[in-house]
Amino acid sequence: MQLWLHLMNLLLPILSWYLRFSHQISIILNSGASPQNGSAFDFIVVGSGPGGSAVAGRIAKLHSVLLLEAGAPAHLMQGIPILFPAFQDTPYDWSFLTERQSQTMALLEDRRTRWSAGKALGGGSAINAMISLRGNAKDYDEWREMGNPGWGYQDVLPYFKKSETFKGYPFDSR
């Protein structure tokens, strides 16, 4: 395990450097995938993150869909969760900065920190070690109480379960 960690410490900076330049190459290689002038679509979905991809996939069963993404196609190495730090602060990351914090982050320059967000096919899931969260049940219930029927946690839970395909446990802990 120690050898593996040392190897990763050596490889991550090299991979990060490579990603800064391979992004430009992949745009050139994949530029032919753009829709042609005059193409017509029933729906346009902006953002290919987990939400946008799921929506586009559902709609595409019955209609034509154009899925737009600002970034490049996902990189082959993004399928390896332990390599996610190598994709931060690269062309695959929007590299947002948080607002200046008055009560925290005192050791950081200007009391701000980077807030990574995926800029590639797959959105945030392309750079976040494939971590997925459903969100806080209270938030969904609050949306329902604000006048959005069907948005309570128990209402949306079946849709979360439908999209979750991990079968690593001997029982369904979802």
Angle of helix 153-163 relative to helix 137-145, nearest 10 degrees? 130
Burial of 86 (0-12, 13-18, 19+ CB in 10 A): buried
DSSP state of 94: -
The values of phi and psi at residue 81, to 5°, are: -55, -35
What DSSP string describes 146-169? TT-TT-SHHHHHHHHHHH-----S
Model pLDDT for residues 82-140, shown as the tens digit of each residue:
888 888 888 889 999 999 999 888 888 889 988 888 888 888 888 888 777 788 999 99
**Tokens 């391979």 belong to residue:** 22
Most confident range (mean pLDDT) of 3-12, 77-86, 135-144 is: 135-144
**Tokens 């109480």 belong to residue:** 145
10 Å Cβ neighbour count for 22? Answer: 19
Tell me the pTM: 0.59
pLDDT band, very low/low/confident/very high, at 30 (cuts 50, 70, 90): very low
Query: What length is written for the chain?
Result: 174
10 Å Cβ neighbour count for 150? Answer: 8
Q: Two tokens at 75?
A: 């990189």
Q: What angle do CA 155, 158, 160 make, to 5 degrees?
A: 105
